[in-house]
Chains A and B, each alone.
Chain A
Protein backbone atom coordinates (compact mmCIF):
# COMPACT_ATOMS: atom_id res chain seq x y z
CA UNK A 1 0.00 0.00 0.00
CA UNK A 2 1.39 3.35 -0.93
CA UNK A 3 -0.35 4.94 2.03
CA UNK A 4 1.65 8.05 2.98
CA UNK A 5 3.36 8.33 -0.41
CA UNK A 6 1.23 10.72 -2.41
CA UNK A 7 0.56 13.51 0.10
CA UNK A 8 0.28 16.74 -1.87
CA UNK A 9 1.39 20.10 -0.55
CA UNK A 10 3.97 22.83 -0.84
CA UNK A 11 7.31 22.40 0.87
CA UNK A 12 6.54 24.94 3.59
CA UNK A 13 3.40 23.08 4.64
CA UNK A 14 4.97 19.63 4.26
CA UNK A 15 7.77 20.67 6.59
CA UNK A 16 5.24 20.17 9.38
CA UNK A 17 4.14 16.76 8.19
CA UNK A 18 6.35 13.85 9.22
CA UNK A 19 4.75 10.40 9.48
CA UNK A 20 6.41 7.27 10.85
CA UNK A 21 5.16 3.83 9.81
CA UNK A 22 6.37 0.85 11.82
CA UNK A 23 5.78 -2.77 10.88
CA UNK A 24 7.10 -6.32 10.98
CA UNK A 25 7.62 -8.43 7.89
CA UNK A 26 5.65 -11.63 7.36
CA UNK A 27 7.63 -14.79 8.17
CA UNK A 28 10.74 -12.80 9.07
CA UNK A 29 10.05 -10.98 12.30
CA UNK A 30 6.28 -10.85 12.75
CA UNK A 31 5.99 -13.39 15.56
CA UNK A 32 5.82 -11.53 18.86
CA UNK A 33 5.77 -8.14 17.14
CA UNK A 34 2.66 -6.79 18.92
CA UNK A 35 4.44 -5.58 22.11
CA UNK A 36 7.16 -3.96 19.97
CA UNK A 37 4.57 -2.12 17.89
CA UNK A 38 2.91 -0.93 21.08
CA UNK A 39 6.26 0.20 22.51
CA UNK A 40 6.93 2.17 19.33
CA UNK A 41 3.59 3.97 19.61
CA UNK A 42 4.19 4.75 23.28
CA UNK A 43 7.60 6.23 22.49
CA UNK A 44 6.10 8.42 19.78
CA UNK A 45 3.15 9.49 21.91
CA UNK A 46 5.43 10.39 24.83
CA UNK A 47 7.76 12.36 22.59
CA UNK A 48 5.11 14.54 21.03
CA UNK A 49 3.41 12.77 18.13
CA UNK A 50 0.15 14.61 17.48
CA UNK A 51 -1.58 11.39 16.37
CA UNK A 52 -0.91 7.68 16.56
CA UNK A 53 -2.82 4.98 14.70
CA UNK A 54 -3.19 1.32 13.81
CA UNK A 55 -3.91 0.38 10.20
CA UNK A 56 -5.01 -3.17 11.01
CA UNK A 57 -7.70 -2.48 13.59
CA UNK A 58 -8.40 1.21 13.02
CA UNK A 59 -7.79 4.51 14.72
CA UNK A 60 -8.79 5.52 18.26
CA UNK A 61 -12.33 6.42 17.13
CA UNK A 62 -12.90 3.14 15.30
CA UNK A 63 -11.71 1.29 18.42
CA UNK A 64 -13.48 3.47 20.98
CA UNK A 65 -10.39 4.95 22.67
CA UNK A 66 -6.64 5.37 22.45
CA UNK A 67 -6.24 2.83 25.26
CA UNK A 68 -8.28 0.23 23.34
CA UNK A 69 -6.15 0.89 20.30
CA UNK A 70 -2.94 0.23 22.22
CA UNK A 71 -4.39 -2.85 23.92
CA UNK A 72 -5.67 -4.39 20.69
CA UNK A 73 -2.46 -4.28 18.65
CA UNK A 74 -1.81 -7.62 16.97
CA UNK A 75 1.28 -9.21 15.46
CA UNK A 76 1.42 -8.09 11.82
CA UNK A 77 -0.21 -4.74 12.50
CA UNK A 78 1.10 -1.65 10.73
CA UNK A 79 1.17 1.31 13.12
CA UNK A 80 1.76 5.02 12.56
CA UNK A 81 2.72 8.20 14.33
CA UNK A 82 2.25 11.72 12.96
CA UNK A 83 4.54 14.60 13.93
CA UNK A 84 4.14 18.28 13.13
CA UNK A 85 7.54 19.24 14.47
CA UNK A 86 10.99 18.25 13.21
CA UNK A 87 12.76 18.41 16.59
CA UNK A 88 10.20 16.10 18.18
CA UNK A 89 10.50 13.71 15.24
CA UNK A 90 14.28 13.63 15.61
CA UNK A 91 14.00 12.92 19.33
CA UNK A 92 11.57 10.10 18.60
CA UNK A 93 13.91 8.67 15.95
CA UNK A 94 16.77 8.66 18.46
CA UNK A 95 14.59 6.91 21.06
CA UNK A 96 13.35 4.31 18.55
CA UNK A 97 16.91 3.58 17.47
CA UNK A 98 17.95 3.28 21.10
CA UNK A 99 15.02 0.93 21.91
CA UNK A 100 16.30 -1.39 19.13
CA UNK A 101 12.98 -3.17 18.66
CA UNK A 102 14.03 -4.64 15.31
CA UNK A 103 11.01 -3.88 13.12
CA UNK A 104 11.05 -1.76 9.94
CA UNK A 105 10.59 1.98 10.16
CA UNK A 106 9.54 4.20 7.28
CA UNK A 107 9.73 7.98 7.57
CA UNK A 108 7.44 9.95 5.26
CA UNK A 109 8.08 13.60 4.60
CA UNK A 110 10.27 15.97 2.62
CA UNK A 111 13.31 13.99 1.51
CA UNK A 112 15.81 16.70 2.43
CA UNK A 113 14.22 16.95 5.86
CA UNK A 114 14.21 13.15 6.28
CA UNK A 115 17.89 13.12 5.32
CA UNK A 116 18.63 15.72 7.98
CA UNK A 117 16.51 13.95 10.63
CA UNK A 118 18.28 10.65 9.90
CA UNK A 119 21.69 12.29 10.09
CA UNK A 120 20.90 13.81 13.47
CA UNK A 121 19.49 10.51 14.78
CA UNK A 122 22.41 8.45 13.45
CA UNK A 123 20.33 6.57 10.86
CA UNK A 124 20.83 5.89 7.15
CA UNK A 125 18.32 6.17 4.33
CA UNK A 126 18.00 2.63 2.98
CA UNK A 127 15.23 2.52 0.37
CA UNK A 128 13.14 5.34 -1.01
CA UNK A 129 9.66 5.49 -2.52
CA UNK A 130 9.33 8.52 -4.78
CA UNK A 131 5.98 9.92 -5.91
CA UNK A 132 5.83 10.82 -9.59
CA UNK A 133 2.49 12.53 -9.41
CA UNK A 134 -0.96 11.98 -10.86
CA UNK A 135 -1.40 10.71 -14.43
CA UNK A 136 -4.44 10.37 -16.69
CA UNK A 137 -7.72 12.31 -16.39
CA UNK A 138 -6.47 14.99 -13.99
CA UNK A 139 -9.09 17.29 -15.56
CA UNK A 140 -11.71 15.34 -13.55
CA UNK A 141 -10.12 16.23 -10.20
CA UNK A 142 -11.21 19.18 -8.01
CA UNK A 143 -9.53 22.43 -8.97
CA UNK A 144 -8.88 23.61 -5.45
CA UNK A 145 -5.43 22.51 -4.36
CA UNK A 146 -6.43 22.52 -0.68
CA UNK A 147 -9.08 19.89 -1.28
CA UNK A 148 -6.55 17.62 -2.96
CA UNK A 149 -4.07 18.24 -0.14
CA UNK A 150 -6.61 17.20 2.50
CA UNK A 151 -7.87 14.23 0.51
CA UNK A 152 -4.37 12.82 -0.05
CA UNK A 153 -3.58 12.95 3.68
CA UNK A 154 -5.53 9.70 3.92
CA UNK A 155 -3.78 7.14 1.73
CA UNK A 156 -7.00 5.18 1.33
CA UNK A 157 -9.00 8.18 0.11
CA UNK A 158 -11.44 8.03 3.02
CA UNK A 159 -11.46 11.81 3.49
CA UNK A 160 -14.02 12.48 0.78
CA UNK A 161 -14.23 15.67 -1.25
CA UNK A 162 -17.85 16.13 -0.20
CA UNK A 163 -16.96 15.82 3.48
CA UNK A 164 -14.15 18.38 3.08
CA UNK A 165 -16.63 20.76 1.42
CA UNK A 166 -19.15 20.04 4.19
CA UNK A 167 -16.49 20.83 6.83
CA UNK A 168 -15.55 24.09 5.08
CA UNK A 169 -19.22 25.12 5.05
CA UNK A 170 -19.47 24.36 8.77
CA UNK A 171 -16.44 26.59 9.45
CA UNK A 172 -17.81 29.39 7.26
CA UNK A 173 -21.11 29.34 9.14
CA UNK A 174 -19.36 29.27 12.49
CA UNK A 175 -20.73 25.85 13.45
CA UNK A 176 -17.32 24.16 13.64
CA UNK A 177 -13.93 25.58 14.53
CA UNK A 178 -11.14 24.62 12.09
CA UNK A 179 -9.78 22.40 14.87
CA UNK A 180 -13.05 20.51 15.22
CA UNK A 181 -13.29 20.18 11.44
CA UNK A 182 -9.74 18.79 11.26
CA UNK A 183 -10.53 16.25 14.00
CA UNK A 184 -13.62 15.17 12.08
CA UNK A 185 -11.53 14.67 8.94
CA UNK A 186 -9.08 12.63 11.03
CA UNK A 187 -11.91 10.32 12.16
CA UNK A 188 -12.58 9.32 8.54
CA UNK A 189 -8.98 8.20 8.04
CA UNK A 190 -9.19 4.84 9.78
CA UNK A 191 -5.41 4.35 9.94
CA UNK A 192 -5.06 7.62 11.83
CA UNK A 193 -2.55 9.44 9.63
CA UNK A 194 -4.29 12.73 8.90
CA UNK A 195 -2.06 15.51 10.18
CA UNK A 196 -4.55 17.66 12.07
CA UNK A 197 -2.15 20.60 12.50
CA UNK A 198 -1.68 20.87 8.74
CA UNK A 199 -5.35 20.19 8.14
CA UNK A 200 -6.34 23.16 10.35
CA UNK A 201 -4.19 25.51 8.26
CA UNK A 202 -5.53 24.20 4.94
CA UNK A 203 -9.14 24.32 6.19
CA UNK A 204 -8.64 27.93 7.30
CA UNK A 205 -7.38 28.86 3.84
CA UNK A 206 -10.28 27.06 2.14
CA UNK A 207 -12.85 28.69 4.39
CA UNK A 208 -11.44 32.15 3.68
CA UNK A 209 -11.84 31.63 -0.08
CA UNK A 210 -14.94 33.06 -1.70
CA UNK A 211 -17.56 30.74 -3.19
Chain B
Protein backbone atom coordinates (compact mmCIF):
# COMPACT_ATOMS: atom_id res chain seq x y z
CA UNK B 1 0.00 0.00 0.00
CA UNK B 2 1.24 3.51 -0.65
CA UNK B 3 0.30 7.07 0.23
CA UNK B 4 0.58 9.79 -2.37
CA UNK B 5 2.66 12.47 -0.61
CA UNK B 6 1.46 15.10 -3.06
CA UNK B 7 -2.12 14.60 -1.90
CA UNK B 8 -1.72 13.69 1.78
CA UNK B 9 -2.61 16.49 4.19
CA UNK B 10 -1.11 14.74 7.22
CA UNK B 11 -4.37 14.40 9.14
CA UNK B 12 -3.19 11.02 10.59
CA UNK B 13 -6.67 9.51 10.27
CA UNK B 14 -5.21 6.40 8.66
CA UNK B 15 -2.43 5.73 11.19
CA UNK B 16 -4.37 3.85 13.90
CA UNK B 17 -5.97 1.37 11.50
CA UNK B 18 -2.73 -0.37 10.63
CA UNK B 19 -2.47 -3.73 12.46
CA UNK B 20 1.33 -3.74 12.22
CA UNK B 21 2.09 -0.06 12.85
CA UNK B 22 3.49 0.48 9.35
CA UNK B 23 2.02 3.98 8.89
CA UNK B 24 4.12 6.79 10.32
CA UNK B 25 4.15 10.55 10.14
CA UNK B 26 7.08 12.15 8.37
CA UNK B 27 7.63 15.13 10.65
CA UNK B 28 9.59 17.20 8.14
CA UNK B 29 7.17 16.72 5.26
CA UNK B 30 4.09 16.67 7.56
CA UNK B 31 2.58 13.72 5.68
CA UNK B 32 1.87 10.09 6.54
CA UNK B 33 4.00 7.41 4.93
CA UNK B 34 3.98 3.62 4.82
CA UNK B 35 7.01 1.53 5.75
CA UNK B 36 6.87 -1.11 3.00
CA UNK B 37 9.07 -3.52 4.94
CA UNK B 38 6.48 -3.72 7.69
CA UNK B 39 3.28 -3.28 5.61
CA UNK B 40 1.58 -6.65 5.13
CA UNK B 41 -0.79 -5.40 2.38
CA UNK B 42 -3.89 -6.14 4.46
CA UNK B 43 -5.95 -3.33 2.88
CA UNK B 44 -7.27 -2.06 6.21
CA UNK B 45 -6.08 1.57 5.84
CA UNK B 46 -7.60 1.83 2.36
CA UNK B 47 -10.93 0.30 3.46
CA UNK B 48 -11.34 1.96 6.83
CA UNK B 49 -9.60 5.34 7.03
CA UNK B 50 -11.87 7.13 4.61
CA UNK B 51 -8.95 9.36 3.60
CA UNK B 52 -10.36 12.84 2.97
CA UNK B 53 -8.19 13.34 -0.12
CA UNK B 54 -8.01 9.74 -1.44
CA UNK B 55 -4.25 9.66 -1.00
CA UNK B 56 -4.04 5.97 -0.08
CA UNK B 57 -3.72 3.64 -3.03
CA UNK B 58 -2.90 0.03 -3.78
CA UNK B 59 0.23 -0.23 -5.89
CA UNK B 60 0.52 -3.15 -8.28
CA UNK B 61 1.77 -6.09 -6.24
CA UNK B 62 4.36 -8.29 -7.85
CA UNK B 63 5.69 -11.67 -6.77
CA UNK B 64 6.82 -12.42 -4.08
CA UNK B 65 5.14 -9.42 -2.40
CA UNK B 66 1.74 -10.78 -3.54
CA UNK B 67 1.85 -13.34 -0.75
CA UNK B 68 1.51 -10.54 1.81
CA UNK B 69 -1.94 -9.72 0.45
CA UNK B 70 -2.95 -13.40 0.10
CA UNK B 71 -2.08 -14.06 3.75
CA UNK B 72 -3.13 -10.73 5.25
CA UNK B 73 -6.13 -9.29 3.42
CA UNK B 74 -9.23 -11.22 4.51
CA UNK B 75 -11.02 -10.32 1.29
CA UNK B 76 -8.41 -11.85 -1.02
CA UNK B 77 -9.77 -15.11 -2.39
CA UNK B 78 -7.01 -17.67 -2.78
CA UNK B 79 -6.92 -20.01 -5.76
CA UNK B 80 -5.98 -23.11 -3.77
CA UNK B 81 -8.84 -23.05 -1.30
CA UNK B 82 -11.31 -21.06 -3.41
CA UNK B 83 -12.42 -19.22 -0.28
CA UNK B 84 -11.60 -15.85 1.16
CA UNK B 85 -8.84 -15.87 3.74
CA UNK B 86 -5.66 -17.69 4.52
CA UNK B 87 -6.84 -21.12 5.53
CA UNK B 88 -9.07 -23.92 4.32
CA UNK B 89 -12.51 -25.35 5.12
CA UNK B 90 -10.76 -27.45 7.81
CA UNK B 91 -13.21 -28.77 10.45
CA UNK B 92 -15.95 -26.37 9.47
CA UNK B 93 -17.22 -28.85 6.89
CA UNK B 94 -15.87 -32.05 8.45
CA UNK B 95 -19.41 -33.43 8.74
CA UNK B 96 -19.55 -33.75 4.94
CA UNK B 97 -15.87 -34.08 3.95
CA UNK B 98 -14.66 -36.56 6.56
CA UNK B 99 -11.24 -34.88 6.41
CA UNK B 100 -10.61 -35.55 10.09
CA UNK B 101 -11.39 -39.19 10.96
CA UNK B 102 -11.65 -41.01 14.25
CA UNK B 103 -8.18 -41.52 15.70
CA UNK B 104 -6.63 -38.53 13.90
CA UNK B 105 -5.86 -34.97 14.96
CA UNK B 106 -5.85 -31.91 12.72
CA UNK B 107 -3.16 -29.42 13.68
CA UNK B 108 -3.42 -25.72 12.84
CA UNK B 109 -0.43 -23.51 13.71
CA UNK B 110 -1.38 -19.93 12.99
CA UNK B 111 1.91 -18.09 12.67
CA UNK B 112 1.98 -14.43 13.65
CA UNK B 113 -1.35 -14.49 15.38
CA UNK B 114 -2.24 -12.51 17.38
CA UNK B 115 -0.92 -9.04 16.58
CA UNK B 116 2.74 -9.56 15.69
CA UNK B 117 2.62 -10.94 12.17
CA UNK B 118 5.36 -13.26 10.95
CA UNK B 119 8.28 -13.24 8.58
CA UNK B 120 8.31 -16.27 6.31
CA UNK B 121 11.77 -17.14 7.66
CA UNK B 122 10.11 -17.82 11.03
CA UNK B 123 7.28 -19.73 9.36
CA UNK B 124 9.90 -21.92 7.70
CA UNK B 125 11.55 -22.73 11.03
CA UNK B 126 8.27 -24.31 12.14
CA UNK B 127 7.43 -26.05 8.86
CA UNK B 128 10.92 -27.57 8.70
CA UNK B 129 10.71 -28.76 12.31
CA UNK B 130 7.40 -30.58 11.82
CA UNK B 131 8.36 -31.83 8.35
CA UNK B 132 11.36 -33.56 9.91
CA UNK B 133 8.83 -35.55 11.96
CA UNK B 134 7.26 -36.76 8.71
CA UNK B 135 4.03 -34.77 8.59
CA UNK B 136 2.15 -34.31 5.33
CA UNK B 137 1.01 -30.70 4.87
CA UNK B 138 -2.60 -30.04 3.87
CA UNK B 139 -2.53 -29.75 0.03
CA UNK B 140 -5.40 -27.22 -0.24
CA UNK B 141 -3.74 -24.77 2.12
CA UNK B 142 -2.23 -21.79 0.26
CA UNK B 143 0.89 -21.92 2.44
CA UNK B 144 1.59 -25.53 1.43
CA UNK B 145 1.53 -24.57 -2.23
CA UNK B 146 4.25 -21.97 -1.57
CA UNK B 147 6.73 -24.61 -0.39
CA UNK B 148 9.50 -25.49 -2.80
CA UNK B 149 9.77 -28.87 -1.09
CA UNK B 150 6.82 -30.16 0.90
CA UNK B 151 8.78 -33.05 2.40
CA UNK B 152 11.31 -30.74 4.05
CA UNK B 153 8.97 -27.77 4.64
CA UNK B 154 11.33 -25.49 2.69
CA UNK B 155 10.11 -22.32 0.93
CA UNK B 156 11.65 -20.60 -2.03
CA UNK B 157 14.43 -18.32 -0.74
CA UNK B 158 12.85 -15.21 -2.27
CA UNK B 159 9.85 -15.67 0.05
CA UNK B 160 11.79 -15.73 3.31
CA UNK B 161 11.97 -11.93 3.69
CA UNK B 162 8.24 -11.45 3.20
CA UNK B 163 6.08 -10.56 6.18
CA UNK B 164 2.45 -11.65 6.59
CA UNK B 165 -0.15 -10.84 9.21
CA UNK B 166 -0.72 -14.52 9.77
CA UNK B 167 -0.56 -17.81 7.95
CA UNK B 168 -1.71 -21.26 8.95
CA UNK B 169 0.41 -24.40 8.85
CA UNK B 170 -2.05 -27.28 8.56
CA UNK B 171 -1.58 -31.06 8.70
CA UNK B 172 -3.19 -34.16 10.18
CA UNK B 173 -1.51 -36.84 12.28
CA UNK B 174 -2.63 -40.04 13.99
CA UNK B 175 -3.47 -39.41 17.64
CA UNK B 176 -0.49 -41.49 18.81
CA UNK B 177 1.90 -39.02 17.14
CA UNK B 178 0.51 -35.88 18.72
CA UNK B 179 2.86 -36.01 21.74
CA UNK B 180 5.80 -35.84 19.34
CA UNK B 181 4.30 -32.79 17.65
CA UNK B 182 3.78 -31.04 20.98
CA UNK B 183 7.43 -31.63 21.93
CA UNK B 184 8.60 -30.20 18.59
CA UNK B 185 6.37 -27.13 18.92
CA UNK B 186 7.55 -26.48 22.48
CA UNK B 187 11.11 -26.51 21.21
CA UNK B 188 10.66 -24.49 18.00
CA UNK B 189 8.52 -21.87 19.76
CA UNK B 190 11.73 -20.81 21.53
CA UNK B 191 13.53 -20.28 18.22
CA UNK B 192 11.12 -17.85 16.54
CA UNK B 193 10.84 -14.10 16.94
CA UNK B 194 7.05 -14.06 16.82
CA UNK B 195 4.06 -15.94 18.22
CA UNK B 196 1.71 -18.59 16.93
CA UNK B 197 -1.76 -19.60 18.05
CA UNK B 198 -2.20 -23.34 18.18
CA UNK B 199 -5.36 -25.33 17.53
CA UNK B 200 -6.12 -29.06 17.48
CA UNK B 201 -9.08 -30.59 15.67
CA UNK B 202 -10.66 -33.88 16.57
CA UNK B 203 -13.91 -35.74 16.25
CA UNK B 204 -15.46 -36.30 19.63
CA UNK B 205 -15.39 -39.72 21.22
CA UNK B 206 -18.53 -41.69 21.99
CA UNK B 207 -19.38 -39.66 25.14
CA UNK B 208 -18.87 -36.40 23.31
CA UNK B 209 -15.51 -35.72 24.97
CA UNK B 210 -12.42 -34.27 23.31
CA UNK B 211 -10.10 -37.30 23.17
CA UNK B 212 -6.89 -35.29 23.59
CA UNK B 213 -7.42 -33.71 26.97
CA UNK B 214 -5.39 -36.28 28.89
CA UNK B 215 -2.42 -35.76 26.55
CA UNK B 216 -2.67 -31.98 26.92
CA UNK B 217 -2.85 -32.36 30.70
CA UNK B 218 0.24 -34.55 30.63
CA UNK B 219 2.18 -31.73 28.92
CA UNK B 220 0.68 -29.06 31.19
CA UNK B 221 -0.89 -27.28 28.23
CA UNK B 222 -3.72 -24.94 29.08
CA UNK B 223 -6.61 -25.29 26.69
CA UNK B 224 -9.21 -22.62 26.28
CA UNK B 225 -12.73 -23.19 27.62
CA UNK B 226 -14.09 -22.00 24.28
CA UNK B 227 -13.59 -23.03 20.69
CA UNK B 228 -15.36 -24.23 17.57
CA UNK B 229 -17.80 -27.10 17.29
CA UNK B 230 -19.16 -28.51 14.04
CA UNK B 231 -22.67 -29.66 14.92
CA UNK B 232 -23.16 -32.10 12.06
CA UNK B 233 -25.91 -30.40 10.05
CA UNK B 234 -24.22 -30.66 6.63
CA UNK B 235 -25.61 -33.06 4.03
CA UNK B 236 -24.79 -35.62 2.74
CA UNK B 237 -23.24 -36.62 6.05
CA UNK B 238 -19.86 -38.34 5.66
CA UNK B 239 -19.89 -41.85 7.09
CA UNK B 240 -16.74 -43.58 8.24
CA UNK B 241 -16.49 -47.32 7.82
CA UNK B 242 -18.59 -48.97 10.49
CA UNK B 243 -20.39 -45.76 11.51
CA UNK B 244 -24.14 -46.11 11.84
CA UNK B 245 -25.13 -42.46 11.50
Contact = CB atoms under 8 A, between A and B. Distances in A.
A105 B44 CA distance: 28
A131 B44 contact: no
Interface residues of A, number: 80
Contact of A1 (B16, B18, B87, B227): B87
Contacts of B115: 141-142, 148, 151, 157, 161
A197 interface: no
A126 B232 contact: yes
B84 A134 contact: no
B133 interface: no
Nearest to A14: B226
A141 to B, nearest CB: 6
A152 B224 CA distance: 13
B10 interface: no
Contact of B227 (A5, A57, A163): A5
A194 to B, nearest CB: 13
A165 B192 CA distance: 27
B114 interface: yes
Contact of A134 (B86, B92, B195, B223): B195
B139 to A, nearest CB: 13
Nearest to A93: B231
Contacts of B227: 5, 108, 111, 128-131
A181 B202 CA distance: 37
A55 interface: yes
Contact of A129 (B47, B83, B201, B236): B201
B233 interface: yes
Given A7-B226, A124-B231, A134-B196, A115 B91 contact: no
A133 B197 contact: yes
B111 to A, nearest CB: 9
Q: Which of A58, A132, A137, A138 has the largest count of B CB atoms less than 10 A from its CB? A: A132
Contacts, number: 285
B233 A128 contact: no
A163 B49 CA distance: 11
B21 interface: yes
Interface stretch (B28-36, B52-60, B95-103, B149-157): B95-103
Given A127-B204, A128-B202, A141-B114, 16 more contacts: A6-B114, A55-B74, A78-B83, A102-B235, A118-B231, A125-B208, A128-B91, A130-B202, A131-B226, A132-B198, A140-B195, A151-B115, A158-B74, A160-B18, A190-B47, A191-B74
Interface of A: 1-9, 11, 14, 17, 21, 23-26, 28-29, 55-58, 62, 76, 78, 93, 96-97, 101-112, 114-115, 118, 123-138, 140-142, 148, 151-152, 156-163, 165-166, 187-188, 190-191
Interface of B: 15-21, 42, 44, 47-48, 72, 74-75, 77, 82-97, 100, 106, 108, 110, 113-116, 165-166, 168, 185-186, 189-190, 192-204, 208, 210, 212, 216, 221-236
22 contacts: A2-B168, A2-B199, A5-B108, A24-B93, A26-B83, A56-B77, A56-B83, A96-B233, A102-B234, A107-B228, A111-B226, A124-B208, A126-B231, A127-B230, A128-B203, A129-B229, A130-B200, A131-B197, A134-B196, A141-B116, A156-B42, A156-B165
